[in-house]
Structure 1
Amino acid sequence: MKTDHPVYLFLSAGAEAFRVLTGGRELDGAYRFCSLTIKGIERRLDGIFEPEGHAGPVYVVEFQGQSSEKAWYNLLTKIGLYGEEHPRSDVIGIAIFLREQDVPAFPSWANHVEAPLLNVVLRRVLPDWLARDPDNPYVAVFAPLLIDDDEVLRTQAAGYWRTVQEAPLDPEVRGILSQVLEFWFFERFCGLTAKEVWAMLNLLTPIQETKAYQSILAEGKIEGKIEGKIEGKADSLKRLLTRRYGPVPPWAEQRIDAATVAQLDGWLDGIFDAANLEDLIGPESG
Protein backbone atom coordinates (compact mmCIF):
# COMPACT_ATOMS: atom_id res chain seq x y z
CA MET A 1 0.00 0.00 0.00
CA LYS A 2 1.36 3.40 -0.95
CA THR A 3 1.71 5.63 2.08
CA ASP A 4 4.13 8.51 1.57
CA HIS A 5 1.88 11.11 -0.05
CA PRO A 6 -1.18 10.60 2.22
CA VAL A 7 1.10 10.73 5.27
CA TYR A 8 2.47 14.12 4.28
CA LEU A 9 -1.06 15.28 3.48
CA PHE A 10 -2.04 14.06 6.94
CA LEU A 11 0.79 16.03 8.57
CA SER A 12 -0.47 19.21 6.94
CA ALA A 13 -3.51 18.93 9.24
CA GLY A 14 -1.39 20.43 12.02
CA ALA A 15 -0.27 19.83 15.58
CA GLU A 16 -2.63 16.97 16.43
CA ALA A 17 -1.54 15.10 13.30
CA PHE A 18 2.08 15.56 14.38
CA ARG A 19 1.27 14.27 17.90
CA VAL A 20 -0.45 11.13 16.61
CA LEU A 21 2.12 10.29 13.95
CA THR A 22 5.08 10.75 16.31
CA GLY A 23 3.59 8.55 19.02
CA GLY A 24 2.57 11.34 21.38
CA ARG A 25 5.24 14.03 20.98
CA GLU A 26 3.66 17.48 21.19
CA LEU A 27 4.63 20.72 19.51
CA ASP A 28 5.28 23.47 22.05
CA GLY A 29 4.02 26.72 20.58
CA ALA A 30 2.91 27.65 17.05
CA TYR A 31 4.41 25.76 14.12
CA ARG A 32 4.11 25.96 10.36
CA PHE A 33 4.16 22.79 8.26
CA CYS A 34 5.63 23.02 4.79
CA SER A 35 7.53 21.26 2.04
CA LEU A 36 10.97 22.73 1.46
CA THR A 37 13.65 22.32 -1.21
CA ILE A 38 17.27 23.00 -0.27
CA LYS A 39 18.65 25.21 -3.04
CA GLY A 40 21.69 24.12 -4.96
CA ILE A 41 21.22 20.35 -4.84
CA GLU A 42 17.41 20.29 -4.98
CA ARG A 43 17.02 17.91 -2.02
CA ARG A 44 13.40 18.10 -0.87
CA LEU A 45 12.40 18.13 2.79
CA ASP A 46 8.81 17.01 2.39
CA GLY A 47 7.78 17.10 6.03
CA ILE A 48 9.08 19.95 8.13
CA PHE A 49 7.61 21.84 11.09
CA GLU A 50 9.16 25.26 11.64
CA PRO A 51 8.46 27.34 14.78
CA GLU A 52 6.48 30.53 14.28
CA GLY A 53 7.38 33.40 16.59
CA HIS A 54 9.44 31.39 19.09
CA ALA A 55 12.80 29.64 19.39
CA GLY A 56 11.56 26.05 19.49
CA PRO A 57 13.25 23.27 17.54
CA VAL A 58 12.67 22.53 13.87
CA TYR A 59 11.32 19.04 13.18
CA VAL A 60 12.32 17.31 9.94
CA VAL A 61 9.99 14.35 9.41
CA GLU A 62 10.89 11.46 7.12
CA PHE A 63 8.30 8.74 6.52
CA GLN A 64 9.33 5.31 5.22
CA GLY A 65 6.45 3.21 3.94
CA GLN A 66 8.86 0.60 2.57
CA SER A 67 12.20 -0.81 3.65
CA SER A 68 15.23 1.31 2.72
CA GLU A 69 18.73 0.66 4.03
CA LYS A 70 19.66 4.32 3.54
CA ALA A 71 16.66 5.78 5.42
CA TRP A 72 18.70 7.00 8.41
CA TYR A 73 21.40 8.49 6.19
CA ASN A 74 18.76 10.19 4.05
CA LEU A 75 17.28 11.82 7.15
CA LEU A 76 20.72 12.81 8.46
CA THR A 77 21.53 14.41 5.11
CA LYS A 78 18.36 16.49 5.20
CA ILE A 79 19.01 17.57 8.79
CA GLY A 80 22.53 18.65 7.86
CA LEU A 81 21.45 20.52 4.75
CA TYR A 82 18.75 22.41 6.63
CA GLY A 83 21.20 23.15 9.44
CA GLU A 84 23.70 24.61 6.97
CA GLU A 85 21.10 27.12 5.82
CA HIS A 86 19.81 27.77 9.35
CA PRO A 87 22.89 27.35 11.60
CA ARG A 88 21.21 28.98 14.62
CA SER A 89 18.36 26.47 14.73
CA ASP A 90 17.96 23.29 16.73
CA VAL A 91 17.02 20.67 14.14
CA ILE A 92 15.49 17.38 15.26
CA GLY A 93 14.96 14.47 12.88
CA ILE A 94 11.99 12.13 13.20
CA ALA A 95 11.97 8.90 11.21
CA ILE A 96 8.55 7.27 10.98
CA PHE A 97 8.38 3.64 9.86
CA LEU A 98 5.32 1.53 9.17
CA ARG A 99 6.75 -1.75 10.52
CA GLU A 100 9.58 -2.88 12.77
CA GLN A 101 11.33 -4.66 9.90
CA ASP A 102 11.52 -1.38 7.96
CA VAL A 103 13.92 0.20 10.48
CA PRO A 104 17.43 0.04 8.96
CA ALA A 105 20.24 -1.46 11.04
CA PHE A 106 22.83 1.19 10.16
CA PRO A 107 24.11 3.42 11.47
CA SER A 108 23.63 1.24 14.55
CA TRP A 109 23.73 4.19 16.95
CA ALA A 110 20.62 5.66 15.30
CA ASN A 111 18.48 2.98 16.95
CA HIS A 112 19.68 3.75 20.49
CA VAL A 113 17.31 5.48 22.87
CA GLU A 114 19.77 8.32 23.49
CA ALA A 115 20.43 8.94 19.77
CA PRO A 116 19.79 12.48 18.46
CA LEU A 117 17.09 11.07 16.20
CA LEU A 118 13.52 10.04 17.01
CA ASN A 119 12.33 6.64 15.86
CA VAL A 120 8.59 5.96 15.56
CA VAL A 121 7.12 2.65 14.32
CA LEU A 122 3.42 3.06 13.57
CA ARG A 123 2.64 -0.63 14.03
CA ARG A 124 4.13 -0.36 17.49
CA VAL A 125 2.33 2.74 18.79
CA LEU A 126 -0.92 3.19 16.88
CA PRO A 127 -2.84 -0.10 17.42
CA ASP A 128 -3.05 0.51 21.19
CA TRP A 129 -3.90 4.15 20.53
CA LEU A 130 -6.70 3.11 18.16
CA ALA A 131 -8.12 0.77 20.81
CA ARG A 132 -7.71 3.37 23.57
CA ASP A 133 -9.03 6.39 21.67
CA PRO A 134 -11.21 5.15 18.78
CA ASP A 135 -13.10 8.46 18.59
CA ASN A 136 -9.96 10.43 17.75
CA PRO A 137 -10.30 11.18 14.01
CA TYR A 138 -6.54 11.62 13.63
CA VAL A 139 -6.09 8.02 14.79
CA ALA A 140 -9.10 6.62 12.94
CA VAL A 141 -7.62 7.49 9.54
CA PHE A 142 -4.85 4.92 10.11
CA ALA A 143 -7.27 1.99 10.46
CA PRO A 144 -6.62 0.71 6.88
CA LEU A 145 -2.90 0.47 7.73
CA LEU A 146 -3.37 -1.19 11.10
CA ILE A 147 -6.23 -3.69 10.67
CA ASP A 148 -4.95 -6.70 8.73
CA ASP A 149 -8.22 -8.62 8.39
CA ASP A 150 -10.14 -7.32 5.36
CA GLU A 151 -13.52 -8.47 6.65
CA VAL A 152 -12.99 -6.80 10.02
CA LEU A 153 -11.99 -3.60 8.28
CA ARG A 154 -15.04 -3.80 6.02
CA THR A 155 -17.42 -4.06 8.97
CA GLN A 156 -15.74 -1.15 10.79
CA ALA A 157 -15.19 1.10 7.77
CA ALA A 158 -18.39 3.13 8.12
CA GLY A 159 -17.63 3.76 11.79
CA TYR A 160 -14.19 5.20 11.04
CA TRP A 161 -15.66 7.36 8.30
CA ARG A 162 -18.30 8.72 10.70
CA THR A 163 -15.60 9.39 13.29
CA VAL A 164 -13.95 11.81 10.86
CA GLN A 165 -17.21 13.32 9.59
CA GLU A 166 -18.78 13.89 13.02
CA ALA A 167 -15.73 15.11 14.97
CA PRO A 168 -15.60 18.82 15.89
CA LEU A 169 -12.98 19.74 13.28
CA ASP A 170 -12.20 22.73 11.13
CA PRO A 171 -13.71 22.05 7.67
CA GLU A 172 -10.30 22.18 5.99
CA VAL A 173 -8.86 19.66 8.45
CA ARG A 174 -11.88 17.41 8.03
CA GLY A 175 -11.33 17.52 4.28
CA ILE A 176 -7.68 16.50 4.69
CA LEU A 177 -8.47 13.59 7.00
CA SER A 178 -11.31 12.46 4.74
CA GLN A 179 -9.00 12.41 1.72
CA VAL A 180 -6.37 10.42 3.59
CA LEU A 181 -8.86 7.85 4.87
CA GLU A 182 -10.57 7.54 1.49
CA PHE A 183 -7.23 7.20 -0.31
CA TRP A 184 -6.12 4.33 1.90
CA PHE A 185 -9.44 2.50 1.54
CA PHE A 186 -9.12 2.76 -2.25
CA GLU A 187 -5.57 1.40 -2.01
CA ARG A 188 -6.56 -1.38 0.39
CA PHE A 189 -9.60 -2.50 -1.62
CA CYS A 190 -8.23 -1.78 -5.08
CA GLY A 191 -10.35 -4.57 -6.59
CA LEU A 192 -13.61 -2.79 -5.71
CA THR A 193 -15.26 -0.07 -7.75
CA ALA A 194 -15.44 3.50 -6.49
CA LYS A 195 -19.15 3.06 -5.73
CA GLU A 196 -18.46 -0.08 -3.70
CA VAL A 197 -15.78 1.65 -1.61
CA TRP A 198 -17.99 4.65 -0.96
CA ALA A 199 -20.86 2.35 0.00
CA MET A 200 -18.52 0.62 2.47
CA LEU A 201 -17.60 3.94 4.05
CA ASN A 202 -21.18 5.23 4.19
CA LEU A 203 -23.33 2.25 5.08
CA LEU A 204 -25.88 4.49 6.83
CA THR A 205 -25.78 7.32 4.27
CA PRO A 206 -27.09 7.10 0.69
CA ILE A 207 -24.11 7.42 -1.63
CA GLN A 208 -25.88 10.20 -3.58
CA GLU A 209 -25.64 12.43 -0.48
CA THR A 210 -21.90 12.11 0.07
CA LYS A 211 -19.59 14.96 -0.90
CA ALA A 212 -17.29 12.55 -2.68
CA TYR A 213 -20.08 11.26 -4.91
CA GLN A 214 -21.42 14.73 -5.65
CA SER A 215 -17.96 15.99 -6.56
CA ILE A 216 -17.37 13.18 -9.03
CA LEU A 217 -20.92 13.32 -10.39
CA ALA A 218 -20.55 17.05 -11.09
CA GLU A 219 -17.61 16.29 -13.34
CA GLY A 220 -19.53 13.58 -15.21
CA LYS A 221 -17.24 10.79 -14.06
CA ILE A 222 -19.62 8.30 -12.48
CA GLU A 223 -21.35 6.81 -15.53
CA GLY A 224 -19.43 5.85 -18.65
CA LYS A 225 -15.95 5.97 -17.04
CA ILE A 226 -13.63 3.16 -16.11
CA GLU A 227 -14.64 1.82 -12.71
CA GLY A 228 -12.49 0.55 -9.90
CA LYS A 229 -8.78 0.78 -9.50
CA ILE A 230 -7.93 3.28 -12.26
CA GLU A 231 -10.81 5.59 -11.33
CA GLY A 232 -9.86 5.61 -7.67
CA LYS A 233 -6.21 6.33 -8.38
CA ALA A 234 -6.99 9.07 -10.92
CA ASP A 235 -9.38 10.82 -8.56
CA SER A 236 -6.93 10.58 -5.67
CA LEU A 237 -4.16 12.02 -7.85
CA LYS A 238 -6.32 14.97 -8.93
CA ARG A 239 -7.23 15.82 -5.34
CA LEU A 240 -3.59 15.69 -4.25
CA LEU A 241 -2.48 17.76 -7.25
CA THR A 242 -5.11 20.40 -6.49
CA ARG A 243 -4.02 20.65 -2.87
CA ARG A 244 -0.33 20.80 -3.78
CA TYR A 245 -0.24 22.90 -6.98
CA GLY A 246 -3.70 24.46 -7.28
CA PRO A 247 -6.51 23.74 -9.78
CA VAL A 248 -5.66 21.02 -12.29
CA PRO A 249 -5.93 22.37 -15.86
CA PRO A 250 -8.15 20.53 -18.38
CA TRP A 251 -5.21 19.19 -20.41
CA ALA A 252 -3.72 17.62 -17.26
CA GLU A 253 -7.06 16.05 -16.31
CA GLN A 254 -7.30 14.53 -19.77
CA ARG A 255 -3.81 13.08 -19.48
CA ILE A 256 -4.60 11.61 -16.06
CA ASP A 257 -7.89 10.11 -17.28
CA ALA A 258 -6.04 8.38 -20.14
CA ALA A 259 -3.20 7.05 -17.98
CA THR A 260 -2.54 3.43 -17.07
CA VAL A 261 -2.43 2.14 -13.51
CA ALA A 262 1.37 1.98 -13.67
CA GLN A 263 1.60 5.62 -14.82
CA LEU A 264 -0.81 6.76 -12.11
CA ASP A 265 1.25 4.92 -9.51
CA GLY A 266 4.40 6.65 -10.76
CA TRP A 267 2.81 10.09 -10.53
CA LEU A 268 1.41 9.39 -7.06
CA ASP A 269 4.85 8.27 -5.90
CA GLY A 270 6.51 11.40 -7.28
CA ILE A 271 4.02 14.08 -6.29
CA PHE A 272 6.09 15.31 -3.34
CA ASP A 273 9.35 15.35 -5.29
CA ALA A 274 8.13 17.41 -8.25
CA ALA A 275 8.48 21.19 -8.06
CA ASN A 276 5.34 21.77 -10.14
CA LEU A 277 2.65 19.98 -12.15
CA GLU A 278 4.66 20.00 -15.38
CA ASP A 279 7.66 18.39 -13.68
CA LEU A 280 5.42 15.54 -12.57
CA ILE A 281 3.27 14.69 -15.60
CA GLY A 282 5.08 16.60 -18.36
CA PRO A 283 4.33 19.84 -20.25
CA GLU A 284 0.98 20.54 -21.90
CA SER A 285 2.40 19.85 -25.36
CA GLY A 286 4.08 16.60 -24.24
Structure 2
Amino acid sequence: MKTDSSIYTFLATGPEAFRVLTGGLTLEGEYVFRSVTFKSLERRADGLYEPLDPDRPVYLIEFQAQSAAAAWYNLLTKIGLYGEEHPEREVRGLLIVLHARALPTRPSRVGAPESIAAAICLERFLPEWLEREPDNPFLAALAPLIITRDAALTERAPALWHAIQHAPLEPAARTALSQILEFWLFERFRSLTAEEISTMLNIFTPLEETRAYQSIFVKGEAKGKAEGEAKGKAEGKADSLKRLLTRRFGPLPAGVSARIDSADIPQLDAWLDAVLDIQSLDELLTH
Protein backbone atom coordinates (compact mmCIF):
# COMPACT_ATOMS: atom_id res chain seq x y z
CA MET A 1 0.00 0.00 0.00
CA LYS A 2 1.34 3.41 -0.98
CA THR A 3 1.56 5.62 2.07
CA ASP A 4 4.05 8.48 1.65
CA SER A 5 1.80 11.24 0.32
CA SER A 6 -1.15 10.22 2.52
CA ILE A 7 0.93 10.15 5.70
CA TYR A 8 2.29 13.62 4.88
CA THR A 9 -1.25 14.90 4.26
CA PHE A 10 -2.42 13.28 7.50
CA LEU A 11 0.38 14.78 9.61
CA ALA A 12 -0.16 18.20 8.04
CA THR A 13 -3.65 18.40 9.55
CA GLY A 14 -2.14 19.23 12.93
CA PRO A 15 -1.49 18.16 16.54
CA GLU A 16 -4.32 15.60 16.79
CA ALA A 17 -2.90 13.72 13.80
CA PHE A 18 0.48 13.70 15.55
CA ARG A 19 -1.07 12.37 18.78
CA VAL A 20 -2.97 9.60 16.99
CA LEU A 21 -0.08 8.48 14.82
CA THR A 22 2.48 8.49 17.63
CA GLY A 23 0.46 6.60 20.20
CA GLY A 24 -0.31 9.53 22.46
CA LEU A 25 2.62 11.94 22.21
CA THR A 26 1.44 15.52 22.45
CA LEU A 27 2.96 18.70 21.10
CA GLU A 28 3.35 21.25 23.86
CA GLY A 29 3.25 24.81 22.61
CA GLU A 30 2.94 25.88 18.96
CA TYR A 31 4.54 23.81 16.21
CA VAL A 32 4.85 24.28 12.45
CA PHE A 33 4.64 21.18 10.25
CA ARG A 34 6.52 20.91 6.97
CA SER A 35 8.35 18.54 4.69
CA VAL A 36 12.10 18.87 4.40
CA THR A 37 14.70 17.67 1.90
CA PHE A 38 18.31 17.52 2.99
CA LYS A 39 20.05 18.79 -0.13
CA SER A 40 23.48 17.42 0.78
CA LEU A 41 22.26 13.84 0.31
CA GLU A 42 18.90 14.47 -1.38
CA ARG A 43 17.17 12.79 1.57
CA ARG A 44 13.53 13.68 2.18
CA ALA A 45 11.86 13.25 5.56
CA ASP A 46 8.20 12.19 5.68
CA GLY A 47 7.41 15.02 8.05
CA LEU A 48 8.91 17.52 10.44
CA TYR A 49 7.26 19.26 13.38
CA GLU A 50 9.24 22.35 14.39
CA PRO A 51 8.27 24.21 17.59
CA LEU A 52 8.07 27.97 17.68
CA ASP A 53 9.72 27.73 21.10
CA PRO A 54 13.39 26.84 20.38
CA ASP A 55 13.70 25.05 23.74
CA ARG A 56 11.17 22.39 22.77
CA PRO A 57 12.13 19.32 20.72
CA VAL A 58 11.87 19.01 16.96
CA TYR A 59 10.13 15.80 15.83
CA LEU A 60 11.39 14.22 12.61
CA ILE A 61 9.04 11.49 11.40
CA GLU A 62 9.58 8.50 9.12
CA PHE A 63 6.68 6.18 8.26
CA GLN A 64 7.65 2.70 7.12
CA ALA A 65 4.81 0.60 5.68
CA GLN A 66 7.07 -2.29 4.71
CA SER A 67 10.04 -3.86 6.41
CA ALA A 68 13.32 -2.10 5.57
CA ALA A 69 16.60 -3.30 7.08
CA ALA A 70 18.17 0.18 6.91
CA ALA A 71 15.18 2.11 8.32
CA TRP A 72 16.91 3.05 11.59
CA TYR A 73 20.07 4.17 9.81
CA ASN A 74 17.98 6.18 7.34
CA LEU A 75 16.24 7.96 10.22
CA LEU A 76 19.47 8.52 12.15
CA THR A 77 21.06 10.00 9.03
CA LYS A 78 18.26 12.54 8.70
CA ILE A 79 18.42 13.38 12.41
CA GLY A 80 22.14 14.04 11.97
CA LEU A 81 21.64 16.16 8.86
CA TYR A 82 18.98 18.29 10.54
CA GLY A 83 21.08 18.58 13.70
CA GLU A 84 24.10 19.62 11.66
CA GLU A 85 22.09 22.49 10.17
CA HIS A 86 20.48 23.37 13.52
CA PRO A 87 22.96 22.40 16.26
CA GLU A 88 21.11 24.52 18.81
CA ARG A 89 17.95 22.36 18.56
CA GLU A 90 17.05 19.08 20.20
CA VAL A 91 15.95 16.61 17.53
CA ARG A 92 13.95 13.46 18.17
CA GLY A 93 13.30 10.91 15.46
CA LEU A 94 10.14 8.77 15.31
CA LEU A 95 10.08 5.61 13.21
CA ILE A 96 6.42 4.65 12.74
CA VAL A 97 5.55 1.18 11.42
CA LEU A 98 2.31 -0.73 10.94
CA HIS A 99 3.52 -4.02 12.40
CA ALA A 100 6.20 -4.95 14.93
CA ARG A 101 7.72 -7.35 12.41
CA ALA A 102 8.65 -4.37 10.24
CA LEU A 103 11.01 -2.95 12.88
CA PRO A 104 14.65 -3.51 11.87
CA THR A 105 16.97 -5.15 14.41
CA ARG A 106 20.00 -2.94 13.81
CA PRO A 107 21.31 -0.85 15.41
CA SER A 108 20.22 -2.56 18.60
CA ARG A 109 20.52 0.41 21.00
CA VAL A 110 17.88 2.62 19.42
CA GLY A 111 14.10 2.42 19.55
CA ALA A 112 13.39 2.98 23.25
CA PRO A 113 10.83 5.71 24.15
CA GLU A 114 13.51 8.09 25.47
CA SER A 115 16.04 7.37 22.73
CA ILE A 116 17.02 9.98 20.13
CA ALA A 117 15.17 7.67 17.70
CA ALA A 118 12.05 5.96 19.07
CA ALA A 119 9.83 3.26 17.57
CA ILE A 120 6.04 3.43 17.33
CA CYS A 121 4.06 0.38 16.18
CA LEU A 122 0.49 1.16 15.11
CA GLU A 123 -0.86 -2.37 15.54
CA ARG A 124 -0.10 -2.18 19.26
CA PHE A 125 -2.58 0.59 20.04
CA LEU A 126 -4.66 1.83 17.10
CA PRO A 127 -7.20 -1.07 17.05
CA GLU A 128 -7.97 -0.43 20.72
CA TRP A 129 -8.14 3.33 20.16
CA LEU A 130 -10.52 2.88 17.23
CA GLU A 131 -12.93 0.94 19.44
CA ARG A 132 -12.53 3.44 22.29
CA GLU A 133 -12.97 6.54 20.08
CA PRO A 134 -15.17 5.41 17.17
CA ASP A 135 -16.09 9.00 16.26
CA ASN A 136 -12.51 10.28 16.10
CA PRO A 137 -12.04 11.34 12.44
CA PHE A 138 -8.26 10.94 12.61
CA LEU A 139 -8.59 7.32 13.66
CA ALA A 140 -11.24 6.81 10.96
CA ALA A 141 -8.80 8.01 8.29
CA LEU A 142 -6.20 5.48 9.45
CA ALA A 143 -8.63 2.57 9.76
CA PRO A 144 -7.78 0.92 6.39
CA LEU A 145 -4.22 0.48 7.67
CA ILE A 146 -5.25 -1.42 10.77
CA ILE A 147 -8.49 -3.25 9.87
CA THR A 148 -6.91 -6.22 8.15
CA ARG A 149 -10.00 -8.16 7.01
CA ASP A 150 -11.58 -6.77 3.83
CA ALA A 151 -15.06 -7.82 4.93
CA ALA A 152 -14.70 -6.01 8.25
CA LEU A 153 -13.41 -2.85 6.54
CA THR A 154 -16.28 -2.93 4.02
CA GLU A 155 -18.82 -3.25 6.82
CA ARG A 156 -17.30 -0.39 8.82
CA ALA A 157 -16.61 1.98 5.89
CA PRO A 158 -19.88 4.00 6.16
CA ALA A 159 -19.26 4.68 9.87
CA LEU A 160 -15.68 5.77 9.12
CA TRP A 161 -16.91 8.17 6.44
CA HIS A 162 -19.63 9.49 8.76
CA ALA A 163 -17.07 10.12 11.52
CA ILE A 164 -15.01 12.33 9.21
CA GLN A 165 -17.95 14.19 7.66
CA HIS A 166 -19.67 15.03 10.95
CA ALA A 167 -16.71 15.81 13.22
CA PRO A 168 -16.09 19.46 14.23
CA LEU A 169 -13.22 20.01 11.79
CA GLU A 170 -11.89 22.87 9.75
CA PRO A 171 -12.89 22.41 6.07
CA ALA A 172 -9.27 21.84 4.99
CA ALA A 173 -8.77 19.12 7.60
CA ARG A 174 -12.06 17.42 6.66
CA THR A 175 -11.06 17.39 3.00
CA ALA A 176 -7.62 16.01 3.83
CA LEU A 177 -8.98 13.19 6.01
CA SER A 178 -11.66 12.35 3.44
CA GLN A 179 -9.00 12.19 0.76
CA ILE A 180 -6.83 9.90 2.89
CA LEU A 181 -9.68 7.48 3.61
CA GLU A 182 -10.72 7.40 -0.05
CA PHE A 183 -7.16 6.89 -1.22
CA TRP A 184 -6.51 3.95 1.08
CA LEU A 185 -9.82 2.34 0.21
CA PHE A 186 -8.88 2.56 -3.47
CA GLU A 187 -5.51 1.01 -2.59
CA ARG A 188 -7.13 -1.81 -0.61
CA PHE A 189 -9.90 -2.54 -3.12
CA ARG A 190 -8.13 -2.09 -6.44
CA SER A 191 -10.70 -4.15 -8.34
CA LEU A 192 -13.58 -1.84 -7.36
CA THR A 193 -14.72 1.16 -9.40
CA ALA A 194 -15.24 4.64 -7.96
CA GLU A 195 -19.00 4.02 -8.02
CA GLU A 196 -18.57 0.81 -6.01
CA ILE A 197 -16.41 2.62 -3.44
CA SER A 198 -19.13 5.30 -3.20
CA THR A 199 -21.68 2.56 -2.52
CA MET A 200 -19.42 1.06 0.13
CA LEU A 201 -19.21 4.43 1.89
CA ASN A 202 -22.98 4.92 1.51
CA ILE A 203 -22.56 8.31 -0.14
CA PHE A 204 -24.50 9.70 -3.07
CA THR A 205 -21.96 12.09 -4.59
CA PRO A 206 -19.92 10.13 -7.16
CA LEU A 207 -16.31 10.01 -6.01
CA GLU A 208 -15.20 11.21 -9.43
CA GLU A 209 -16.77 14.59 -8.52
CA THR A 210 -15.26 14.97 -5.06
CA ARG A 211 -12.30 17.23 -4.36
CA ALA A 212 -10.46 14.29 -2.86
CA TYR A 213 -10.82 12.14 -5.99
CA GLN A 214 -9.74 15.03 -8.20
CA SER A 215 -6.72 15.65 -5.98
CA ILE A 216 -5.72 11.98 -5.83
CA PHE A 217 -6.24 10.93 -9.42
CA VAL A 218 -6.77 13.84 -11.82
CA LYS A 219 -4.16 16.18 -10.34
CA GLY A 220 -1.89 13.25 -9.60
CA GLU A 221 -1.96 12.07 -13.21
CA ALA A 222 -1.28 15.59 -14.50
CA LYS A 223 1.55 16.09 -12.03
CA GLY A 224 3.03 12.71 -12.86
CA LYS A 225 2.89 13.46 -16.59
CA ALA A 226 4.54 16.87 -16.14
CA GLU A 227 7.23 15.44 -13.89
CA GLY A 228 7.86 12.61 -16.33
CA GLU A 229 8.23 15.02 -19.24
CA ALA A 230 10.61 17.24 -17.25
CA LYS A 231 12.67 14.25 -16.17
CA GLY A 232 12.90 12.98 -19.74
CA LYS A 233 13.97 16.42 -20.99
CA ALA A 234 16.66 16.67 -18.29
CA GLU A 235 17.95 13.19 -19.07
CA GLY A 236 18.22 14.07 -22.75
CA LYS A 237 20.19 17.24 -22.04
CA ALA A 238 22.44 15.37 -19.60
CA ASP A 239 23.21 12.69 -22.20
CA SER A 240 24.03 15.33 -24.83
CA LEU A 241 26.34 17.17 -22.44
CA LYS A 242 28.18 13.99 -21.44
CA ARG A 243 28.71 13.03 -25.09
CA LEU A 244 30.16 16.46 -25.88
CA LEU A 245 32.43 16.40 -22.84
CA THR A 246 33.62 12.88 -23.59
CA ARG A 247 34.62 13.95 -27.12
CA ARG A 248 36.62 16.86 -25.71
CA PHE A 249 38.14 15.39 -22.56
CA GLY A 250 37.83 11.62 -22.83
CA PRO A 251 35.97 9.30 -20.43
CA LEU A 252 34.30 11.26 -17.64
CA PRO A 253 35.05 10.60 -13.95
CA ALA A 254 32.16 8.99 -12.08
CA GLY A 255 31.76 12.08 -9.90
CA VAL A 256 31.35 14.36 -12.92
CA SER A 257 28.75 12.05 -14.49
CA ALA A 258 26.83 11.90 -11.23
CA ARG A 259 26.91 15.70 -10.93
CA ILE A 260 25.52 16.06 -14.44
CA ASP A 261 22.82 13.42 -13.90
CA SER A 262 21.55 15.18 -10.78
CA ALA A 263 21.53 18.70 -12.25
CA ASP A 264 18.31 20.52 -13.09
CA ILE A 265 17.43 21.83 -16.55
CA PRO A 266 18.62 25.46 -16.05
CA GLN A 267 22.01 24.21 -14.87
CA LEU A 268 22.29 21.77 -17.77
CA ASP A 269 21.44 24.56 -20.21
CA ALA A 270 24.17 26.76 -18.69
CA TRP A 271 26.74 23.98 -19.04
CA LEU A 272 25.69 23.23 -22.62
CA ASP A 273 26.12 26.92 -23.50
CA ALA A 274 29.63 26.90 -22.01
CA VAL A 275 30.85 23.52 -23.24
CA LEU A 276 32.72 24.87 -26.26
CA ASP A 277 34.48 27.64 -24.32
CA ILE A 278 35.79 25.83 -21.25
CA GLN A 279 39.31 24.38 -21.06
CA SER A 280 38.69 21.73 -18.38
CA LEU A 281 35.96 19.83 -16.59
CA ASP A 282 36.65 21.75 -13.40
CA GLU A 283 36.12 25.02 -15.25
CA LEU A 284 32.74 23.79 -16.53
CA LEU A 285 31.50 22.72 -13.10
CA THR A 286 32.18 26.15 -11.66
CA HIS A 287 29.72 27.74 -14.11
- The residue type paired with residue 183 of structure 2 is F
Residue of structure 2 in register with 1:102 after alignment: 102
Residue of structure 2 in register with 1:59 after alignment: 59
SS at match of 1:207: coil
Distance 1:215 1:147 in 2: 25
Decide whether aligned partners of structure 1 residues 10 and 39 sit closer, same or farther in structure 2, where only a CA change above 3 A counts: same
Aligned partners of 2:96 and 2:121 also within 8 Å:
yes
1:182 aligns with 2:162: no
Q: Which of the pair has the greater relative contact order for Cα pairs under 8 Å at 6+ separation?
A: 1
Distance 1:114 1:33 in 2: 22
Residue of structure 2 in register with 1:283 after alignment: 230
User: Percent of pairs identical after alignment?
Assistant: 47
Decide whether aligned partners of structure 1 residues 15 and 238 sit closer, same or farther in structure 2, where only a CA change above 3 A counts: farther
Residue of structure 2 in register with 1:11 after alignment: 11
Distance 2:200 2:215 in 1: 18
Distance 1:92 1:11 in 2: 16
Distance 1:54 1:235 in 2: 35
Q: 1:176-202 deviations in whole A, cap 9, x for unaligned?
A: 10110000000011110111011111x
Distance 2:157 2:149 in 1: 12
Aligned 1:1-286 pairs, distance under 5 A: 1-201=1-201, 203=202, 205-208=203-206, 212-215=207-210, 236-239=216-219, 241=220, 252=222, 278=227, 281-283=228-230
Aligned partners of 2:91 and 2:116 also within 8 Å:
no
Decide whether aligned partners of structure 1 residues 38 and 144 sit closer, same or farther in structure 2, where only a CA change above 3 A counts: same
Distance 1:188 1:119 in 2: 25
- The residue type paired with residue 229 of structure 2 is G
Distance 1:115 1:55 in 2: 18
Q: Tell me which stretches of 4 or more aligned residues in structure 1 moved more than 4 Å.
A: none
Aligned partners of 1:29 and 1:54 also within 8 Å:
no
Residue of structure 1 in register with 2:263 after alignment: none
Q: 1:181-231 deviations in whole A, cap 9, x for unaligned?
A: 000000011110111011111x2x4235xxx44348xxxxxxxxxxxxxxx
Residue of structure 1 in register with 2:258 after alignment: none
Q: Which has the larger radius of gyration?
A: 2
Q: 1:233-279 deviations in whole A, cap 9, x for unaligned?
A: x962445x5xxxxxx8xxx37x75xxxxxxxxxxxxxxxxxxxx63x
Aligned residue pairs, count: 232
- The residue type paired with residue 236 of structure 1 is I
User: 5+ unaligned residues in a row in structure 1: which ranges?
Assistant: 217-231, 242-247, 257-276
Distance 2:181 2:139 in 1: 10
Residue of structure 1 in register with 2:238 after alignment: none
- The residue type paired with residue 282 of structure 1 is E
Aligned partners of 1:199 and 1:207 also within 8 Å:
no
Distance 1:36 1:285 in 2: 25
What is the CA-CA distance between 1:101 and the residue it aligns to?
Answer: 0.5
User: In terms of mean alpha carbon deviation, does 27-36 or 115-124 score higher?
Assistant: 115-124
User: In terms of mean alpha carbon deviation, does 39-48 or 55-64 score higher?
Assistant: 39-48
Decide whether aligned partners of structure 1 residues 74 and 237 sit closer, same or farther in structure 2, where only a CA change above 3 A counts: farther
- The residue type paired with residue 206 of structure 1 is F
Distance 1:106 1:144 in 2: 29
SS at match of 1:101: helix
Distance 1:3 1:38 in 2: 21
SS at match of 1:173: helix
CA-based RMSD of the aligned residues comes to 2.2
Distance 2:94 2:215 in 1: 31
User: 5+ unaligned residues in a row in structure 2: which ranges?
Assistant: 234-287
Distance 1:47 1:85 in 2: 17
Q: 1:34-65 deviations in whole A, cap 9, x for unaligned?
A: 11122333222231001124531110001101
